[in-house]
Amino acid sequence: MLKVKCLFKRAGCAGFVGLLAALSCLGAAPAQSAGTEFKKDEAGLYSDVFNDNIYYEFVDTLNFENLYRKISGKKARAQDVNVYDEVPDSVFFTNRHARKRLSAEELARGYRENDGPDLSEALTVVSGKSEGMHPGFFVKDKRGDLYLIKFDPADNLELTTSAEIIGSRIYHAMGYPATQSDIITVLPSKFVVSPDAKFYDHTGFKRPLTAEKLEELLLFIPYTDEGKLRANAIKILSGDNRGPFGFRGNRANDPEDQIPHEHRRELRAVKILASWLNNYDARRSNTMATIVTKDGQSVFERHQMDFNASLGAGTHEAKPPMFTHEHMLDYGEGTKALLSLGLWEKPWQKRWREAGEQTGSPAVGYFDNREFNPGKFKTQLPARAFKNVTRADAFWAAKNIMAFSDDDVRAIVKAAQYKRAEDADMIAKVLIERRDLIGRYWFEHANALDNFDVKGGKLSFEDLAVTYKFEPAAEASYKVAVARMHGRKRRAVTAFESSAPEISLDSAWFDGAETVELTIRVLRQGWKKPGPYVRVLLDKSAIKEIRHQD
């Protein structure tokens, strides 16, 4: 039996990603302009572990700037924000739901290149695929479109397929280019093996994929009560696959990629979004850059992908208890455990004990909010961009997450097609609670003032902590310091306190000044001192700049 279960196992994940890259190029010529060459980056779990959890962990300790910032606590400001402290649209991110609300139907559809695989005829299996014992394969439909077919673990029908749907919809609605993913439910006979199909066996060698081998594989796939197979059909991205783009460095010869990824706010914010979705597997190999032709020019598109380890799902089982609490190789946690001689009960161990060492239903897995701390969430591997997250970055991410209403969350969860209403309700409940935990945490640790506007001689703003009812309006006090600005020279004018989210602008402040700077801090009941600042630079008629403290 073990031999059969390992039938599609191969040596390492790099081969799988390489296969995905090759398939994405079938029928699509590289879209490169004359004189421009973009090197293809390789990917794989093994290389990710070595680079992010070993090599860069050591090398970064030798970087004096990183060492200084770690000791001083002064993190580098994101380099891609505009003068209003927002992330402009780019190939990495397009402002969507927080800027203009998507309908329930749009949220449920997610990213689209077509309406999903054509199931009017057989799906031709062109290659086998497996990660460990989590099988799947690549297919081509009647139209010639390529899809990666991924199944749930044997004992967890709906676990990973639902996580993939919910994750891809939320990433897309937030603004990240994601992948198109659909749920299909078909009979095993829907899959027909191509004569040229290959797979990697458990020894790592490529073998012919036959109908008999495919039938053996499907013995270990969970079936629905109707005797059908449920799977994710993930469309292979259009364009020429150039591999992952990751969370550090940049491609110097790409005009759209001049800022190191560790200094891009939207890539730092992936950590905050991952904490909402419980996505432990946000790492370099789960990003993909493709070259497409637009208006005769070769441009990169950068997609986030592979969300089936979100929510309560692991790769091929319910999420293990330590995931999201520790990195794969967590030197800090390991040292604390060693020094305590194993007597210290870690937060994830306490959480697991309180859960009775039991996960939820097979479709939900291990997903709750016990011991969840938004500031301490960890992905499988450390990433430089995630380490660089500042309060301003996290505030930006949190306010985008808070833009998802309860009904929005339920609409997205509905797209995951849980059979049991109890499972769908549980997932929605935990996501809604966790959204609020993230908002409350980061609105407290950063300055929660937003939506500034000048009208009628007044500067108005919105206190998001009050808007979302995390704090009572009556207990908020806004400390304001006014300064005249001449270039970089600042001269203090006055300081006062406001109990309302608006400030009357005194015309005398502008006398002899190029601009006026207002530094605003919030003091709430129970706080010993005001929180971080937000600085607003303005002239007599308009706001010139907004900057939240990092």
- Tell me the C-alpha distance between 254 and 233, whole Å: 31
Residue 122's pLDDT is what? 96
Architecture of domain 449-548: Sandwich (2.60)
Residue burial 186-199, b: 16+ Cβ < 10 Å; e: rest? beeebbebeeebeb
pLDDT of the residue at 204 = 73
Mean pLDDT for 166-183 is: 97
Determine the average pLDDT of the residues in 367-374. 94
Tell me the per-residue pLDDT of 18-30, one tens digit each, with 9 for 90 and over.
434 433 433 333 3
Q: Which residues 6+ apart lie within 8 Å of 72 measured at CB? A: none
Tens digits of residue pLDDT in 84-102: 999 999 999 999 999 999 9
What's the pLDDT score for residue 68?
83
Residue 89 CA to residue 72 CA, distance in Å, equals 32
**Residue 131, pLDDT score:** 46
Interatomic CA distance for residues 452 and 467, integer angstroms: 14
For 489, counting Cβ atoms within 10 Å of its Cβ (0-12 exposed, 13-18 middle, 19+ buried), the class is exposed
Whole-model pTM over 0.85: yes
pLDDT in tens, 417-449: 999 999 999 999 999 999 999 999 999 999 999
| Position 37 pLDDT exceeds 70 | no
User: Collapsing DSSP states into helix, strand and coil, what is residue 424?
Assistant: helix
Token couple for 415: 């797209």
Lowest model confidence (mean pLDDT) among 42-46, 192-196, 294-298: 42-46
Partners of 519 in beta bridges: 481, 535
pLDDT of residue 42: 63
* Per-residue pLDDT reduced to its tens digit, 306-317: 999 999 999 788
481-490: pLDDT as tens digits: 999 998 888 9
348, two tokens: 């994830």
Beta carbons of 220 and 154 less than 8 angstroms apart: yes
Q: Note the pLDDT tens digit of each residue in 199-244.
A: 887 777 888 999 998 998 888 899 999 999 999 999 999 888 888 9
The domain ranges of the chain are 449-548
Q: Give the pLDDT band of residue 14 (cuts 50, 70, 90).
A: very low
**pLDDT surpassing 80 at residue 303:** yes
Pairing relation of β-strands 181-186 and 543-548?
unpaired
By the 8 A CB rule, do 549 and 392 touch? yes
pLDDT tens digits, one per residue of 317-354? 899 999 999 999 988 888 888 888 888 888 889 888 88
Query: What pLDDT sits at residue 40?
Result: 58
Instruction: pLDDT band for 461, please (50, 70, 90 cuts).
Output: very high
- Long-range (24+ apart) CB contacts under 8 A made by 24-29 are 24/146, 24/236, 24/237, 24/238, 24/239, 24/240, 24/241, 24/290, 25/240, 25/241, 26/146, 27/144, 28/238, 28/239, 28/240, 29/240
Compute the CA torsion angle 212, 216, 217, 221 (nearest 10 deg): 130
